[in-house]
Amino acid sequence: MNTAVPQTEDAGAAACAGPTDALGTSAAQARSAVLEELIRTDPGRFRVLTGDRPTGRLHLGHFFGTLHNRVRLQELGVELFVVIADYQVLTDRDVADNLLQHVEELVLDYLAIGVDPARSTIFTHGAVPALNQLMLPFLSLVSVSELNRNPTVKDEIAHSRQSAVSGLMFTYPVHQAADILFCKANLVPVGQDQLPHLELTRTIARRFNDRYGAGSAVFPQPDALLSSAPLLLGTDGTKMSKSRNNAITLAATVDETARLVKGAKTDSERHISYDPATRPEVSSLLLLAALCQGRSPEQVAADIGSAGAAALKKVVTESVNEYLAPIRARRAEYGQDRAHLRAVLSEGNERARAVADATLAEVRAAMNTCY
Ligand code: TRP
């Protein structure tokens, strides 16, 4: 695997996008277009690390936001590592109390959408000691004030139900750097909210190399591959999220889907049109139907015309149910075979451990701490 992905002039110019672009979104977008071209011509140069917190079943927002993209990359021939971030949810008691179940639900969702364990590695970071050990030298390379400035962590702390911020919560972006760097991933498909974490990962890689690399790079500086998927709203018109009870999960039944869509917020105008700025709820439903049908939301809107919100919801329900039918069938089938699920996970963990052990050995050698 060649980890050196050349920087281009385009990306360099976009990196000067200006102060309003606080998360570096437009630079990441420009760079992502360049990366997509490189993936098409030479997928073998990339190793992707991506993952999720095991907080329950995945929903359509996850699917069209990132899951779909992972399978696409896998099918293009990119090597894929998928981390189930079990240590990242320890601070949420409700979730942590049912961790095993949540982890298995994630594995089921992955298999159902087509992550192929023969080609891709699904693992839980809690089962990979050497990965976690990387966290200590990495912590030594970042300052408390840098951690304090992370906008995503700030936001999560503001919305968390915890009365106090734990050390794990505060430092989880460093742990995430270990998730990415243990396997020397050079590409991380992310949504905008994860860009600060990726920037920190790049900083840690750079500082480690400068300090211990003796002229050669132990770690690559991974690129963000920004998802171009538009944002789907939940059925209440706010961000689709499990904790807001407004999400259609991949595993939902046909009837549950119909009920959720039926209860979705719309507006009082009968004519259905795609206009995300002024009609966010109607537009998000159109977008969902369009993504499922492989057409544009404008086309779906034109079909419905002045038939009103009820007709729109009927189209959405049918489109989602039809699109998810094969995924749901596979999910049900895999769900019958717990032993297979466990085998997928234990084989993935074993593979991840071998990779992490090799990286830690290199890190020890670079740090001159082989005793
Ligand atoms: N924090 C990510 C999320 O909430 C999950 C995650 C953990 C992750 N480790 C990662 C994502 C490493 C990308 C790379 O979705």
In tens, the pLDDT along 247-280 reads: 999 999 999 999 999 999 999 999 999 999 999 9
Question: For the whole model, what pTM was predicted?
Answer: 0.91
User: In the predicted model, is pLDDT for residue 13 greater than 60?
Assistant: no
Residue 27 has pLDDT above 90, yes or no: no
Q: Which pLDDT value is given to residue 23?
A: 61
Asked whether the predicted pLDDT for residue 286 surpasses 50, the reply is yes
For CA atoms 60, 66, 67, 72, the dihedral sign is positive
Question: Mean pLDDT for the chain?
Answer: 91
For a pocket test of ligand 1, which of 48, 53, 69, 242 has the largest count of ligand atoms closer than 8 A to its C-beta? 53
Which protein residue has the closest C-alpha to ligand 1 atom 3? 52
Among protein residues, the one whose CA lies closest to atom 14 of ligand 1: 50
Please count the other Cβ atoms lying within 10 Å of the Cβ belonging to residue 105.
23
3-state helix, strand, coil in the chain (%, to 5): 60, 10, 35
| Cα–Cα separations (whole angstroms), residue 196 to 144, 191, 266, 281, 326 | 15, 10, 34, 29, 36
Pocket of ligand 1 contains residue 227 by CB under 6 Å: no
User: How many of the other CB atoms lie within 10 Å of CB of 247?
Assistant: 24
Using a 10 angstrom Cβ sphere, with 0-12 exposed, 13-18 middle and 19 or more buried, the burial of residue 104 is middle
Counting from 1 in the atom list of ligand 1, the atom nearest the Cα of 189 is 13
